Structure 1
Amino acid sequence: MLRTFIFIVLLSGVVWGCQSGTQTKYKEWNDYGGGPDHSKYVDFKQITKENVNQLELAFFYPTDDNVGYKFNPIIVDGIMYVLAKNNSLVAIDATSGKELWIHANLRGIIQRGVNFWQSKDKKEKRLLICLNNTLQAIDANTGKSITTFGTNGYVDLKQDLDRDPSTFGRATSTTPGKVFEDLIILGSAPGENLFSGPGHLRAYHVITGELVWVFHTIPHPGEYGYDTWPEEAYKYVGGTNTWGEISVDDDRGIAYFPIGSPTYDYDGADRPGSNLFGNCILALDARTGKRLWHFQTVHHDIWDYDLTAAPQLITVNHDGKKIDAVAVASKHGFLFVFDRVTGEPLWPIEERPVPASDMPNEHAWPTQPFPTVVPPFNRQIVTVDDINPYFSPEEKEKWTTRVAAAKNGLFQPLSDNYEVVTNPGAVGGANYGNTAADPKNGIVYVQTQELADFYSLKNREPTSPRGGNSPQMLARGKALYTQNCQTCHGEDRAGINGLGATLVNLNARVNAEAFKAVMAVGKGRMPGFPHLTETEVSDIYAYLTPEAQRGPGGRGGEPELPEGPVVASGGVPIESPPIGGRMTDYPIEYTGPKVEYVETNNWGLGVPNLLTPPWSLIVAYDLNEGKIKWKIPLGNDDRIPGSKNLSMPNGSQGKGMVVTSTGLLFSTCLDGRIYAYDTDNGNILWSTDLGRMNPFGLPAMYQVNGRQYLVVCSVGGLKDKSKDETDVPKGYLVYALPDQKL
């Protein structure tokens, strides 16, 4: 792996040629999450607490399709890049919405966002996209694919993972990486089933596509942490990946990765040990991939407590000194805070005893880390006093009985002998998109949700080989649909009001590649199902769309081009990936215990809003003191008569915030509104109803020609079912102060 560095030698050391200047820091939204540190913070002065209530719709750009985008727009030099028109990447004028170019039909692109890079003279600009297990580059000036990137225009992300590419399905990240100097740094989302691919962290050169460095999150022989696993673990354990959000200290050249759980999530019999670097915040040298420090937030995870939310880089006053710190929010409701250079906790983190497992061959780790000063942002135990007061008497009795019979607690190991109830649950707490900060003043904001869940284990069925004739595929798909989807979408696939949308005629709206992406990362209230293999997802799609004619990769023929200035379609042609899709057994040399059990939970979807409200919150931490500054409900459940600021069940996952230097915090919410809060106290200063439930994607804020804009992607279902689809804007809504107020 070779690399050429362009550098300028100064008296104080070396400054890298592509390093961003401090004069533009927090003045642009030029990357997923705003900028390198992922703070979602902007230093614009026009919109203030006094005039925010005057915001109005400046313009609207329609998506012109039925795809549920989760896209975070990026804006550079007056041009906004969005995803619309059946997975087309579109450049529009950021002041009017006028289309400049369209790269059509990028089916299989990750839908949360893209990355942007430009040369120092700003003449060369590139968008880096992940598309169907490849990394590709698109010229941001012209919209055309850059065919000199990688091999014939792409990098095959299934390569360089130290395993046969035909033995696993996904290798693409479901969240954009981070650009640092001339590198694009990526995680991955290989899935969470037994024998999923490994979660290597990788960096590629933005010009050549050359692989520059790799970090093995499941250590290989001789590497740090190898002794925390069985000897052969790196050959068969999967996951341990960053499918969430990477943050970069671009002044120091340090990248911070939130790392997820090893596979299998709920049965760790085949991986005794603490399992580094699973569930770690990991700091690497962004230029070389060298480990600088790490902290493991869960040892030997058997609860699926991934870290996914962006680590927040802040400066705090601590013990009379200014400290550059990093704070990482977890799915189990803790906020961990460290010196971002040394990795030392700012306040003590205690290892406390936790229950042992009663399952054969399961060696739950005897202690787990608990922050001692910084309070959790979620409830972490469920009692009968927490049962939802809006339940009917019959429902309340049912759930009270079930809670009373279950074992309880964050770190209660799962069993096949009893149920375990836990909160926030595997998709509660803080997830991707759910953190932001005022980095200069040491304030961190966390969006979180209470989603209690019941777990138990059952014996795993034998692994099915890939393939089979159509009747077998349909039978497998029906069984998988019944187990995973029917609760919300109904036996007839017509959808259950308030839970799931109709899946009738699905193939007319969603092709196989887009369906795989939705199943991997979720959509709206629906969580992702990363534990399902690519084969199983294909089986479900086949069951739902038996009438669909699917060619290679489920593309169904040559796609139509949308209206507008189309300059290209489909990215670069790629060689068909190896057919296979999963490893079905342990390496022949492995003789230890095997995974025998699978969880029976459905990520809280089978459980109605179990707890007392609020179900979703925004929590503001003052990390100069390690205290919660304020905590407020996020949104309101309008279905409950007379409710106000009650919050929304499952209301924060995948939502996002924008923080301004004028003391405002903007947040999207499942209830179909966007809110502006006073950062001093959490009071609502402005809100507007978008007319559609569940605005997807992170909002963004930018400034062009002296005017400040807020953009929100609103593509959910209609709130008022009596209205026609054409009556309510669906796409990117852009707000600003009225012209006469500027």
Structure 2
Amino acid sequence: MIGLVVLLVARPCVAWESWGGDPGGSRFSPLREITSDNVGQLIRAFEFRTGDVTARPPEVMRRTKFEATPLFVEDSLIFCSPFNEVIALDPGTGAQKWRYDPKIAINQRPANRYVCRGVTYWVDDTAPRGAACRSRIFMGTNDVRLIALDAKTGLPCADFGKGGEIKIDIGMPLEWPGEFQITSPPAVGRGVVVVGSSIGDNRRVDAPSGVVRAFDARSGEPRWTFEPLKRDGIEAGHANVWAAMSVDAARGLVFLPTSSPSPDFWGGKRAGNNEHANSVVALRIETGELVWAFQTVHHDVWDYDLPAQPTLARIDTDEGSRDVVIQPTKQGFVFVLDRDTGKPVWPVEERAVPQGGAEGERLSPTQPFPTHVPALTSQTISTDDALSLLPGLRGSSCERQFAEARNEGLFTPPSTQGTLEFPFTGGGVNWGSAAFDPVNQILYANTSRAVHLIKLIPRAEAAGFNPPPGHDFGQQKGAPYAMSRSVVMSPLGLLCNKPPWGEMVAVDLKAGKILWRSTVGTTEDVAPLGVPLPFGAPLMNGLAVTAGGVVFTGAMDAYLRAFDTRSGRELWQGRLPVPGVANPMTYIWKGEQYVAIGAGGHSEAGTSIGDSLVAFRLSRPGEAPSLWSRTIDRPGGRFFAALSAVALAIVALVVAGLRWRRRRRRIRST
């Protein structure tokens, strides 16, 4: 009975009508046809290809990320391609029902690649049933438009803006057309649609501001704007909201996860804590009035912005049941805040952090640390944590890279020497966000573990700096330093820190206890020779949890996976055409439960690129097992993993031997 009450209060969405499953981003489905007992019977139901791979030049496709999560609304699966084409499919067959192409330019070189994480569904309850655009699809675009479509037909809503779209005025010249984008789905509630922005990092001090904009959902007329960053005479831009927002329609609140001020890695011209950057911000959705804000990083110089959608949930505490906002971070923290006040539900301590920033820097002496919920991932790195495929071998390239950099733990400031940043700027919980089971009150999250080397480059050296392959270079114009950033890698192309590199974590919030961790992914689709080491893979994407006791996720290898919610045991794998670096979703159609995920690869991670949406369902009587689906045999899996490890170790020995021979030849020649 208690579980039923919780479900009714949480109002889980059977139809998956929002990017995060519901407007509060719980990513929970009450569907239970697929269970931990029968998930091994899943077979591929259909694969739909958008056609981008054949229609776009390869050099353009190498700048894409297919991260969309489809909605199940109006008896259709509706999603967007990286080029902002909106596509509606039959949910049982994958046949295309309609398609809308906004015809964005493919020569703009967007700073954050061509990407559209999803669209937003809204029903105008004041419009007559059957009226055009009574139900609408909203989408922000890579070329900074807000578009409204009829959810049944895909036709533009003529009464919205100009012919169904609004061209957003950024308010200042851009360095190039792709410096400013909209990549995440808008938020909508009480007749208001709210959009954030994605802005190129590390370009300049006077970067575009992160203004959040709201429009009338019917007419497109402007309603309000909100500037997250308190200026107070500082020189900076950004603090934009590039991740998905959440809405509590009953309270009339929209919750913003804001990002860091510009530039990311030197803040000498933006003294102070830089409120309300790096914050969870609650606004009145009808007026834009600030209700409360809670900052998770003071004076950020680590690019530790908030990439995850705030999760709205009801949890039991010692003081009774409370409505909260759950905010995971890149550092692996989980902040739990009262939804009405923004005050921490459990204590958050201000702790001293490393000092001694670059010349002109003014760091915060402390940073906030949650005390009740443990960090979801490790936050320190040392030479002992360096990857070595040959036990006992010291002096590896990874150890040298770790030893030569500045490294005083979490929040070590960037330096000209080079600073290890761990978790890296894509670490902890990223844009895929967390999932929350309202019945058992368990939080599930994907986490990533890798190390960044951040180096400040004095302005006099920056003009002629030629970044090596794999290094991100930012001019940070207006600052005395440019910057370079690279993931610390071994000569074999593997991450330099010991695995696991990607884990799913289950957390009992009330108890403040991690229940289990499970490694997710292998090196199969990224390692030399395709060796599938069970090391896990960085997990930018999120997951979906169901009442059937199953949690689904994609990874950097080309599999959709299912895990048991109680134990974390991997139960099933469904092969995908390319990696599914997107959030899965689930729905029921004609009495059958389906699980779907976008499979397009990830250009920044170096995976193969595709353009597919793939759905699975349970096999019907008489259907043969699918070649694309398999259950996990633990003993066999361990044997194969050990065999793979031996194979890669042999490769490492061969490479080390060749390098030693070359070194001896150089010594002899001198």
Return the match for 2:68 from 58, 67, 71: 71
Say yes or no: does 1:437 pair with 2:436.
yes
Out of 23-32 and 442-451, give the one that drifted further.
Answer: 23-32
Deviations, residues 187-213 of structure 1 (Å, cap 9, x unaligned): 111222212211112221111111112
Alpha-carbon spacing, 1:404–1:94, altered in 2? closer, same or farther (3 Å): same
Alignment of 1:168-247 (within 5 A): 169=177, 170-192=179-201, 193-194=203-204, 195-219=206-230, 231-233=232-234, 236-247=235-246
Alpha-carbon spacing, 1:273–1:23, altered in 2? closer, same or farther (3 Å): closer
**3-state secondary structure, aligned to 2:403:** helix
Say yes or no: does 1:737 pair with 2:618.
yes
Alpha-carbon spacing, 1:641–1:315, altered in 2? closer, same or farther (3 Å): farther
**3-state secondary structure, aligned to 1:630:** strand
Residue type matched to 2:619 in 1?
P
Deviations, residues 136-158 of structure 1 (Å, cap 9, x unaligned): 21222222222332135422222
Q: Which runs of 5+ in 2 are unaligned?
A: 1-7, 54-60, 106-113, 624-670
Return the match for 1:707 from 575, 592, 598: 592
Which whole-Å CA distance do the structure 2 matches of 1:196 and 1:310 have between them? 24
Say yes or no: does 1:668 pair with 2:554.
yes
Return the match for 1:129 from 139, 142, 145: 139
Which whole-Å CA distance do the structure 2 matches of 1:403 and 1:717 have between them? 27
Residue type matched to 2:76 in 1?
I
Alpha-carbon spacing, 1:676–1:381, altered in 2? closer, same or farther (3 Å): same
Alignment of 1:522-561 (within 5 A): none
Return the match for 1:652 from 534, 539, 542: 539
**3-state secondary structure, aligned to 2:241:** coil
Residue type matched to 1:600 in 2?
S
Asked whether the 8 Å contact 1:199–1:240 carries over to 2, the reply is: yes
Alpha-carbon spacing, 1:22–1:313, altered in 2? closer, same or farther (3 Å): closer
Give the Å deviation of 1:730: 5.7
2:659 paired residue number? none
Which whole-Å CA distance do the structure 1 matches of 2:243 and 2:495 have between them? 26
Alignment of 1:514-663 (within 5 A): 595-604=479-488, 608-638=494-524, 639=527, 646-649=534-537, 651-653=538-540, 655-663=541-549
Alpha-carbon spacing, 1:601–1:356, altered in 2? closer, same or farther (3 Å): same
Say yes or no: does 1:259 pair with 2:144.
no
Say yes or no: does 1:365 pair with 2:252.
no
Return the match for 2:155 from 110, 126, 144: 144
Which whole-Å CA distance do the structure 2 matches of 1:44 and 1:278 have between them? 38
Which whole-Å CA distance do the structure 1 matches of 2:396 and 2:10 have between them? 61
2:172 paired residue number? 164
Say yes or no: does 1:487 pair with 2:474.
no
Return the match for 1:696 from 569, 581, 595: 581
Count of equivalent residues: 580
Give the Å deviation of 1:117: 1.5
Asked whether the 8 Å contact 1:314–1:441 carries over to 2, the reply is: no
- What is the TM-score when the length of structure 2 is the normalising length? 0.80
Residue type matched to 2:27 in 1?
K
Return the match for 2:38 from 51, 63, 76: 51
Give the Å deviation of 1:608: 4.2
Superposition CA RMSD, Å: 3.1
2:4 paired residue number? none
**3-state secondary structure, aligned to 2:181:** coil
Residue type matched to 2:330 in 1?
K
Residue type matched to 1:333 in 2?
G
**3-state secondary structure, aligned to 2:265:** coil
2:573 paired residue number? 687
Residue type matched to 2:172 in 1?
D
Which whole-Å CA distance do the structure 2 matches of 1:287 and 1:46 have between them? 39
Give the Å deviation of 1:413: 1.3
Deviations, residues 106-142 of structure 1 (Å, cap 9, x unaligned): 3367421111212236632221122311112122222
Deviations, residues 448-488 of structure 1 (Å, cap 9, x unaligned): 11111222211236999xxxxxxxxxxxxxx89x637x339
2:28 paired residue number? 41
Give the Å deviation of 1:104: 3.2
Residue type matched to 2:358 in 1?
M
**3-state secondary structure, aligned to 1:128:** strand
1:88 paired residue number? 85
- What is the TM-score when the length of structure 1 is the normalising length? 0.72
Give the Å deviation of 1:367: 0.8
Asked whether the 8 Å contact 2:377–2:449 carries over to 1, the reply is: yes
**3-state secondary structure, aligned to 1:401:** helix
2:644 paired residue number? none
**3-state secondary structure, aligned to 2:301:** coil
Which whole-Å CA distance do the structure 1 matches of 2:162 and 2:82 have between them? 28
Which whole-Å CA distance do the structure 1 matches of 2:402 and 2:422 have between them? 12
Out of 423-432 and 728-737, give the one that drifted further.
Answer: 728-737
Which whole-Å CA distance do the structure 1 matches of 2:245 and 2:610 have between them? 32
Residue type matched to 2:587 in 1?
Y
Deviations, residues 433-457 of structure 1 (Å, cap 9, x unaligned): 1311113432211111111122221
Give the Å deviation of 1:531: 5.6
Residue type matched to 1:125 in 2?
S
Asked whether the 8 Å contact 1:255–1:284 carries over to 2, the reply is: yes
Asked whether the 8 Å contact 2:34–2:548 carries over to 1, the reply is: yes
Which whole-Å CA distance do the structure 2 matches of 1:119 and 1:729 have between them? 36
Residue type matched to 1:459 in 2?
P
Asked whether the 8 Å contact 1:268–1:300 carries over to 2, the reply is: yes
Asked whether the 8 Å contact 2:521–2:557 carries over to 1, the reply is: yes
Which whole-Å CA distance do the structure 1 matches of 2:175 and 2:570 have between them? 51
**3-state secondary structure, aligned to 1:601:** strand
Over the matched positions of the two proteins, sequence identity in percent amounts to 30
Which whole-Å CA distance do the structure 1 matches of 2:264 and 2:10 have between them? 44
Alignment of 1:222-371 (within 5 A): 231-233=232-234, 236-371=235-370
Alpha-carbon spacing, 1:625–1:135, altered in 2? closer, same or farther (3 Å): same
Which whole-Å CA distance do the structure 1 matches of 2:301 and 2:587 have between them? 42
Asked whether the 8 Å contact 1:178–1:185 carries over to 2, the reply is: yes
Asked whether the 8 Å contact 2:229–2:275 carries over to 1, the reply is: yes
Asked whether the 8 Å contact 1:255–1:285 carries over to 2, the reply is: yes
Alpha-carbon spacing, 1:87–1:611, altered in 2? closer, same or farther (3 Å): same
1:547 paired residue number? none
Asked whether the 8 Å contact 1:314–1:440 carries over to 2, the reply is: no
Which whole-Å CA distance do the structure 1 matches of 2:244 and 2:518 have between them? 24
Give the Å deviation of 1:52: 1.4
1:376 paired residue number? 375
Deviations, residues 267-308 of structure 1 (Å, cap 9, x unaligned): 101101110011111122222222222211110001110111
Residue type matched to 1:647 in 2?
F
Alpha-carbon spacing, 1:153–1:730, altered in 2? closer, same or farther (3 Å): closer
Which whole-Å CA distance do the structure 2 matches of 1:389 and 1:686 have between them? 30
**3-state secondary structure, aligned to 1:456:** strand
Deviations, residues 701-729 of structure 1 (Å, cap 9, x unaligned): 111222211111223399xxxxxx9xx99
Residue type matched to 2:411 in 1?
F
Deviations, residues 319-359 of structure 1 (Å, cap 9, x unaligned): 15112222111111211112222222122111111222242
Which whole-Å CA distance do the structure 2 matches of 1:299 and 1:391 have between them? 41
Residue type matched to 1:79 in 2?
S
Give the Å deviation of 1:672: 0.9
Out of 679-688 and 398-407, give the one that drifted further.
Answer: 398-407
Q: Which runs of 5+ in 1 are unaligned?
A: 1-20, 220-228, 465-478, 489-528, 534-583, 585-593, 719-724
Give the Å deviation of 1:105: 5.6
2:631 paired residue number? none
